[in-house]
Chain A
Amino acid sequence: MKLFRKIATGLAVVACTVSFSTIVKAADEVNVAFFLEWATPNQEAKVKKMYDEAMGVKVNWTNFATGVEMTEAMLSGDIDISYSQGMTPFVNAVNAKAPIKIVDVAVEYGMGGTGCVVSNSAGISQANAKDLEGQKVAVPLNTMADYAFRMIMSHLGADASKVNVVDMEPADGAVALVDGNVVMSCMFGKNSIDKALEKGKMLMTTAEATAAGITSFDITSATDKFIKENPELLRSFLEVTAEANATYAAGKSDMNIIAKDAGMTVEKTKNQMAGFKFPSPAEQKATWFTSGGKVEGMLAFMGNMFATSENPALSDYSKTINTSFLPD
């Protein structure tokens, strides 16, 4: 009986603490997800604590390896805002009806930051890309590199489903290419692509890919709950980002800080950012977020590309966009 009473009291205490801790949770800090090896102007603002200053709360930055992990963290409530999440993981998340929304276009990039490198010894070029069918290719599945891979294959007339895809993270994929284990490796991240270029060349250069219409962009996403409860914080967040982008556009960004925060050399950072565009809020409103505009079109296109039987494509992707927080 004594033991029973002890257990009962223990359980009661646990129940009380649990219920109290869930009730009281004011937003005195904001959790933001970001990528390493992906240089953006707002990293200067991040290092200089401009976000904390503007939002008036503590901003915690957590780096992630893939956008899928960002989504998982957002669904479990550990992350409020994901900065520069790829469209692929976002689309897969909303196909699975995850309660998150696009609030901003973070980075537009040609395939400079993402691309496929073919091994020099494979003897494959754009002309005979069909030879890739049946060969081993490293692709980090469900990332923007996966999207680039599928787009490039269809552009060059090869059947992506016949290629023997090996699921590898970019860093591993680069090593596999250098060692000759795969004939092509699709990656994102400057360090990985540079490593692969030691023994290979881009299947399509950035300019060629852009000319073929293969470009993409990363977005800023936020959870529904955060959007509803702390709209002013989200607005401040996007403002600081826009300010940082404007500073960069004016050529006043401190590249040393950005490079250090991104974990790359200054030269690599400059190279990578040369392939990036950071659309201003005005541009976004004018050309990106219009009804049937760039973002909606891309969402619908990718939504169908990655649809599975359990998570079919949505009929209307405009409902996964919320542009009301874009600064004027």
Chain B
Amino acid sequence: MLTGFITILLLIAFLSAILYDRLVVKNRKIDAVFGNPERANGGYHWVLAGSCSILLLWLYFSWDIARSYYPQSANELCQVAKVRESVLGINYIFPIDQRTLKSTDFIERETKKINLLKIEINNADLNIKDKTQLLSFLTKSQLMIVALSDEKNLKKETQSKIDLVAEKLSSLTLRFQSDNFPEEKSTEEKEKRKKLLENQTDWGATGMEIPPYPVTKRGEKFESASIEMNVIVEEFFQIKNDHKKFIDLSLNLKNELKEFKNKLTESQTLEKDYLRKISKISGRISRSNIFPSKSLDSVERAVKEFDETQKVEQGNLRVIDTFLFPAGTIVASGETCSEQGAGRWLPKPTDTLRIFLDLLKPSVGYKNFPMLWYQFIGFNEVIDFIVPDWIADLLPGEYPVHSSNGEIEPNFKKHALNIVSGEFDSFKIPVPSGHIWDSFLRVFLGLSLGVIAGVPLGLFMGLSRFAKGYFDPVIELYRPVPPLAWAPLIITVFGIDNSGKVFLLFMVSFAIMIVSARAGASGTQLSKIHAAHSLGASKWQILRQVIFPNSLPEILTGIRVSIGVCWGTLVAAEFLAGTTGIGFVENVARKYMQYEHIWITIFVMGMLGLLFDLAMRWVIARTIPWRGKG
């Protein structure tokens, strides 16, 4: 209900954004010429239109619009799918979904194989007697095909069985069209059905669940038809073209093959090989159950007729299926149904939102870990983490030893050690935790380390002949290597904890930062440096006041690029050894086919990336407002 309302709202917003552009903005006078970046300013109504079209596409392709406007359609389509499933086998025999009869296809394929084998045997190094014998087997196999294809051989009984099936199909088609189909059920069955329906939830009540038992009249019709159809199809596949001539031929050949095989000695491997191939072919032919092409006409007609009828009976359901279930449809598997296609892997926005809100609850989380929450950590633990323990070792004096009565007198050095190693009672402070926070922290740490190390080195390389030459080989050697190529090594070197993942991200951002800082430093206008020199600036002042500000645009762009690449690498790193993090959630969700969760992680990553980028844009606007203007 709400989704339907939102859909209309989005549509209106989208259209009004376009209208707004046509009516208002088009007529606004601007004097900026083509190529002036000012022409790209503003345009927030297009942001609205863009967001609306993304949401509309999502609603449409996830079949959420179908669900909100036609909540019963999935249940009805499920029944239609049951019918489709019931005729799948019989349809495949006839040229309905393919070009030729299945038997024609089969004969073509086998004849080709037989002819090839004949040529092969003719050219093989065998004695004449065996050769003729083997060739005769092949000819007999072909005769079997002939015997099966000939209408004259078909038993009257078989033909009447086939016609009976066709009749049953036609009668089903006829009854299917009438309004009183299916016939009234017995009270017992009604009770049973009622109970099943009571336990049945609505479409999407638990994720991708589609209610399998029909609720509507039309659904009941299709379900009953599918049940009857299954019986008829089963009966049809029981019919075998087993006339005497064929059975004789087949038995004969089988015996001859056996006889020939028994006569072969151990060393005649070539003959054995050919014999095996021939017996496989003849075996396939004897099981093929080919009918003369004309004999099945009645069934084919009946099947096609039924197909037409069921399409007509679907009524507006077909339109809904085509237009509101894009890129896929509902597929039945026995009694149950599932969404296959876009609806399966693209979860509905409403479901996604519901699951996302559920995941955000700290008590639920994912794999016993919240998405984003806080936990209380003692201040001492923070100290232990930040201050390295060896500081205590540097202090003068010795650590206390135990005295003769077994007591330990703590001295100053011991107290200092207790503080740096966090062994003291303290207050607790809230610290963020959760999958999102962990991923964020990894990216942030990797990025900051990369910037802190990369920018000075990059500037240095841009300014000094030594640094450029000395560091160039190693950096240019590792920079083009995709970061994931390092990933397998990272596990062994750094282990599976954060340090490895952060290091991987550091490598990514480090290379990018060096390149951008170096380009910035060497791209500073010489006239500015000369001007600073002539005004008497020192080296440090030139670096600080001229070169650094002038390379800032490049550096900040480098950071923006790094952020994107870092997120990309992070997910892969978290795939590798998953403990926490968004990449971990996504990988596990994939293994459990939780497509909603996968989309949630994608969405969260997109949002975090956007957040980082917005922050960078803000920094850029604050620090280098003069960019591109001088």
A-to-B contact residues, CB < 8 Å: 23-26, 28, 53-54, 56-57, 66, 68, 71, 75, 89, 92-93, 96-101, 136, 138, 141-142, 161, 164-168, 172, 175-176, 179, 181-182, 224-225, 228-232, 236, 306, 308-312, 314, 319-320
Known: A93-B593, A142-B592, A309-B207. A99 touches B340 (CB 8 A): yes
Residues 77-93 of B, flagged 1 when their CB comes within 8 A of A and 0 if not, give: 00000000100110010
Q: Tell me if B333 and A99 are in contact (CB < 8 A).
A: yes
Q: Tell me if A97 and B337 are in contact (CB < 8 A).
A: yes
User: 7 tightest CB-CB pairs across the interface, nearest first?
Assistant: A310-B207, A97-B338, A167-B578, A99-B333, A142-B591, A228-B88, A229-B92
Among candidates B100, B206, B338, residue contacting A99 with C-beta atoms closer than 8 Å: B338
List the A side residues contacting B491 at CB < 8 Å: 172, 175-176, 179, 181
Sample of 8 A–B contacts (CB below 8 Å) = A141-B592, A161-B368, A166-B577, A176-B495, A181-B496, A228-B92, A311-B592, A312-B206
Q: Tell me if A311 and B593 are in contact (CB < 8 A).
A: yes
B97 contacts the other chain (CB 8 A): yes
Complex CA–CA separation, A56 to B584 (angstroms): 44
Residue of A nearest to B495 (CB): A181
- Which of B97, B331, B368, B593 has the largest count of A CB atoms less than 10 A from its CB? B593
Q: Tell me if B280 and A96 are in contact (CB < 8 A).
A: no
Q: Tell me if B592 and A308 are in contact (CB < 8 A).
A: yes
List the B side residues contacting A181 at CB < 8 Å: 491, 495-497
Q: Tell me if B89 and A96 are in contact (CB < 8 A).
A: no
Residue of A nearest to B337 (CB): A97
B28 contacts the other chain (CB 8 A): no
Among candidates A54, A68, A164, A225, residue contacting B591 with C-beta atoms closer than 8 Å: A68
List the B side residues contacting A101 at CB < 8 Å: 333
Residue of B nearest to A318 (CB): B334
List the A side residues contacting B210 at CB < 8 Å: 97
Complex CA–CA separation, A155 to B488 (angstroms): 34
Complex CA–CA separation, A98 to B590 (angstroms): 14
Q: How far is the CB of B262 from chain A (nearest CB, A)?
A: 19
Q: Tell me if B208 and A56 are in contact (CB < 8 A).
A: no
Q: How far is the CB of A41 from chain B (nearest CB, A)?
A: 17
Among candidates B99, B340, B576, residue contacting A24 with C-beta atoms closer than 8 Å: B99
B316 contacts the other chain (CB 8 A): no
Q: How far is the CB of B113 from chain A (nearest CB, A)?
A: 7
Among candidates B335, B336, B584, B590, residue contacting A68 with C-beta atoms closer than 8 Å: B590
How many residues of chain B are within 8 Å of chain A by beta carbon?
58
Known: A56-B284, A96-B208, A179-B495. A168 touches B109 (CB 8 A): no
Among candidates A161, A232, A319, residue contacting B287 with C-beta atoms closer than 8 Å: A232
List the A side residues contacting B591 at CB < 8 Å: 66, 68, 89, 92, 141-142
Q: How far is the CB of B167 from chain A (nearest CB, A)?
A: 23
B579 contacts the other chain (CB 8 A): yes
Among candidates B281, B287, B338, residue contacting A96 with C-beta atoms closer than 8 Å: B338
B538 contacts the other chain (CB 8 A): no
Among candidates B105, B277, B284, B495, residue contacting A236 with C-beta atoms closer than 8 Å: B284
Q: Tell me if A179 and B492 are in contact (CB < 8 A).
A: yes
B596 contacts the other chain (CB 8 A): yes
Q: Tell me if A141 and B207 are in contact (CB < 8 A).
A: no
Known: A98-B338, A181-B491, A232-B288. A53 touches B280 (CB 8 A): yes
Complex CA–CA separation, A163 to B488 (angstroms): 24
Among candidates B277, B340, B497, B577, residue contacting A53 with C-beta atoms closer than 8 Å: B277
Known: A172-B576, A224-B85. A319 touches B335 (CB 8 A): yes
List the B side residues contacting A310 at CB < 8 Å: 206-208, 355, 594, 596
Residue of A nearest to B110 (CB): A56
Residues 568-610 of B, flagged 1 when their CB comes within 8 A of A and 0 if not, give: 0000000011110000100110111110100000000000000
List the A side residues contacting B277 at CB < 8 Å: 53
Beyond A26-B98, A68-B590, A311-B592, 18 additional pairs, beta carbon < 8 A:
A56-B281, A75-B340, A96-B208, A99-B332, A101-B333, A142-B591, A161-B368, A167-B578, A167-B584, A168-B576, A175-B491, A179-B492, A181-B496, A181-B497, A229-B92, A310-B208, A311-B208, A319-B334
Complex CA–CA separation, A136 to B578 (angstroms): 11
Q: Tell me if B577 and A176 are in contact (CB < 8 A).
A: yes
List the B side residues contacting A179 at CB < 8 Å: 491-492, 495
Among candidates B102, B334, B495, B587, residue contacting A167 with C-beta atoms closer than 8 Å: B587
Residue of A nearest to B92 (CB): A229
- Which of B99, B210, B577 has the largest count of A CB atoms less than 10 A from its CB? B577
Q: How far is the CB of A188 from chain B (nearest CB, A)?
A: 14
Complex CA–CA separation, A308 to B288 (angstroms): 44
List the B side residues contacting A230 at CB < 8 Å: 92
Residues 89-124 of B, flagged 1 when their CB comes within 8 A of A and 0 if not, give: 100100001111010010001100100000000000
Known: A93-B593, A172-B576. A229 touches B89 (CB 8 A): yes
List the A side residues contacting B280 at CB < 8 Å: 53-54, 56
Known: A96-B208, A96-B338, A224-B85. A308 touches B594 (CB 8 A): yes
Complex CA–CA separation, A319 to B82 (angstroms): 14
- Which of B85, B334, B368 has the largest count of A CB atoms less than 10 A from its CB? B334
List the A side residues contacting B100 at CB < 8 Å: 26
Q: How far is the CB of B630 from chain A (nearest CB, A)?
A: 41
List the A side residues contacting B113 at CB < 8 Å: 56
Q: Tell me if A166 and B496 are in contact (CB < 8 A).
A: yes
Q: How far is the CB of A175 from chain B (nearest CB, A)?
A: 6
List the A side residues contacting B209 at CB < 8 Å: 97
Residue of B nearest to A309 (CB): B206
List the B side residues contacting A99 at CB < 8 Å: 331-333, 338, 340
Q: Tell me if B496 and A136 are in contact (CB < 8 A).
A: yes
Among candidates B208, B283, B287, B596, residue contacting A97 with C-beta atoms closer than 8 Å: B208
List the B side residues contacting A231 at CB < 8 Å: 89
Q: Tell me if A175 and B288 are in contact (CB < 8 A).
A: no
Among candidates A57, A164, A165, A306, residue contacting B109 with C-beta atoms closer than 8 Å: A57
Q: Tell me if B109 and A56 are in contact (CB < 8 A).
A: yes
List the A side residues contacting B284 at CB < 8 Å: 54, 56, 232, 236
Residue of A nearest to B237 (CB): A231
Known: A57-B109, A97-B333, A308-B592. A166 touches B579 (CB 8 A): yes
Residues 273-287 of B, flagged 1 when their CB comes within 8 A of A and 0 if not, give: 000110011011001
List the A side residues contacting B577 at CB < 8 Å: 138, 166-168, 172, 176
Residue of B nearest to A164 (CB): B579
List the A side residues contacting B355 at CB < 8 Å: 310
Q: How far is the CB of B96 from chain A (nearest CB, A)?
A: 9
Q: Tell me if A182 and B496 are in contact (CB < 8 A).
A: yes
Complex CA–CA separation, A172 to B575 (angstroms): 11
Among candidates A168, A175, A306, residue contacting B578 with C-beta atoms closer than 8 Å: A168
Q: Tell me if B496 and A168 are in contact (CB < 8 A).
A: yes
Q: How far is the CB of A149 from chain B (nearest CB, A)?
A: 14
Complex CA–CA separation, A28 to B88 (angstroms): 18
List the A side residues contacting B105 at CB < 8 Å: 26, 28
Complex CA–CA separation, A98 to B593 (angstroms): 10
Complex CA–CA separation, A225 to B596 (angstroms): 26
